[in-house]
Amino acid sequence: MENQRLLLYVSLALVIYLIWMAWEQDYGPAPTPSSQIASQKLPQANKARPRTSDVPEAPAAARRHEPPPGARPTASTQRIHVVTDVLNVDIDTRGGDIRRAALPTYPAEADAPKTPFVLLHDNAKLGVYIAQSGLIHDATTEGNTEDLAPSHHAVYTARQKEYSLRKGQDELHVPLTWRSPTGMIVKKVFTFRRGKFLVDVMHRVVNRSHQAWSGRQYRQLRHGPIIQGKSSTHSPQTYTGAAYYDGKYEKIPFEDMQSEPLDRVIRGGWVAMLQHYFVSAWVPGPDERDFYYTNVVHEGGRPEYIIGLSSMGLKVAPGETGAFHAQLYVGPTLQDRLGNIAKGLDLVVDYGILTVLAKPLFWALSKIHDIVGNWGWAIVILTMLIKLAFYKLSETSYKSMAKMRTVQPRMAGLRERYGDDRQKMNQALMDLYKKEKINPLGGCLPIVVQIPVFISLYWMLLESVELRQADFIFWIHDLSSRDPYFILPLLMGVSMFVQQRLNPTPPDPIQAKVMMALPLVFTIFFAFFPSGLVLYWLVNNLLSIAQQWAITRRMEANPKAA
């Protein structure tokens, strides 16, 4: 039975090792680049109807009228710059695409607070990432549908080049106008609001022609291949790719868009592009039925991945007006805000299989932060609360270990008496445990309980944007990344060594050496974990040392104390 504690520590080391292997897999050799995947031979079943255009298909009757990809308008365009308190956006008059979106309240680096993080961009070196929307006409006659509805290739006109949300102003409207030779007018209006990362996008169709107009709105996100490097904004530790919601959260890796394209009608839901801490998402009305799709096109020899949704048709009679509405979220993965925007949108903060535990932990952590105003101290207080919740369980465990220390001389005597007769020795040990009311597995429970808490905290610290660049004290300026000087891991290793000295010493010299090496092994593991996680483990160890020391002293003074 004395081997149980060794097995427990080895099991915990294995868990940490598996997490480490997952980390190494993310940082290891890069997978096959997306551009290579796209150039590979496609399955025969997907060759029947290749999609060559970046504009979604109209109903079957109109597909043959869609202009080829190279036959787009060549009129000159301009950029419209929009500034709010939380967004810094560039809108292209060609299609009204959002070609750039920076977040001034979220610095790109902790040591450069005035340089905003850029989420959307058309920088080919980083892999293009833009938001597009437009209209497609349900044409049933010969002719160019580009003259009937403005796709994201159409050119709009704008009243001005600069828009800014002024002090005291809560709402900012940015209108664009498109006119066709047939008398159709489309006003595309972006509405920005103070403190909001959510943008309203409306297409108002004014039919001044002599024929009824019938068409639909599409909204899509377009992302180039993932390019890792010093200038990359993508974390190799977390998921970067597309996702959608149809009652449950579904991911679509870029490489799957070729072999398994999305092609279905969904009521409500949303489509999104995800990366570490940030997300862009097109959100339709909760009762709106849309056609959800994915597509892969090539620009400049590179693949670009598209996920989008197209609305049901809208008819506008001559002299009448119709409108399409949508919302675009461009910002951080703030769970409280995302959940209020659309059902299931908060699931983009993916805590993995232990979400059921990680979400309550984050809720508690955020409430503590509301009081203390510092995420590091919030982790310390949360650790104390977790320790308090399992206080009685830990007390029982430490009493069991203290009793084990008091009977160690008698256990050594039994080993000398029975020598190599393992069966008799084990039976004698069991009788001794029963007589002294010792549970040899009692010391296992606190550590077993901590394993799921540890893993949940790991994913919570890795995924929660609230902890991104969160300052603590002294040299710790980002609780979501490793300690730059490895001080916390070293302190954690020392605390683990001290705690180990309070435990019964294994009688086997080899086991004793292995146990002595574990603090060093764990220190190496923890050196690359988020400093907030190491802080949790350090505080937990310190609290455990204090509790175990007090109980051990009491038990040694009075061995019969319960």
Q: Which of 549, 452, 534 is nearest to 500 (CA)?
A: 549
Whether the CB-CB separation of 229 and 237 falls below 8 Å is answered with no
Domain 31-350: CATH architecture, name and number where available: Distorted Sandwich (2.70)
Whether the CB-CB separation of 290 and 218 falls below 8 Å is answered with no
Residue by residue, pLDDT tens for the chain (562 residues) are 444 444 445 555 555 554 554 444 444 444 433 333 333 333 333 333 335 578 886 544 333 333 334 344 445 589 999 999 999 999 999 999 999 999 999 999 888 889 999 999 998 888 899 999 999 998 744 445 667 899 999 999 999 999 999 999 999 999 999 999 888 999 999 999 999 999 999 999 999 999 999 999 999 999 999 876 544 455 556 889 999 999 999 999 999 998 889 999 999 999 999 999 999 999 999 999 999 999 999 887 889 999 999 999 999 999 999 999 999 999 999 988 999 999 999 999 988 888 889 999 999 999 999 999 999 999 999 999 998 988 877 777 777 777 776 777 777 777 777 767 778 777 887 887 777 777 666 556 666 777 788 788 888 888 899 999 999 999 999 998 899 999 999 999 999 999 888 776 665 566 667 778 888 988 998 898 889 989 998 998 999 899 888 887 776 666 555 4
**Farthest CA pair distance, the chain:** 107
Per-residue confidence (pLDDT) for residue 44, from 0 to 100: 32
- The domain limits of the chain are 3-23+358-557, 31-350
User: Which amino acid is residue 262, in one-letter code?
Assistant: L
Report the first-to-last Cα separation within the chain, whole angstroms.
22
Which ranges in 315-374 belong to alpha helices (H)? 335-341, 355-372
Q: Is the dihedral of CA 495, 501, 504, 510 positive or negative?
A: positive
Q: Which of 296, 316, 298, 319 is nearest to 306 (CA)?
A: 296
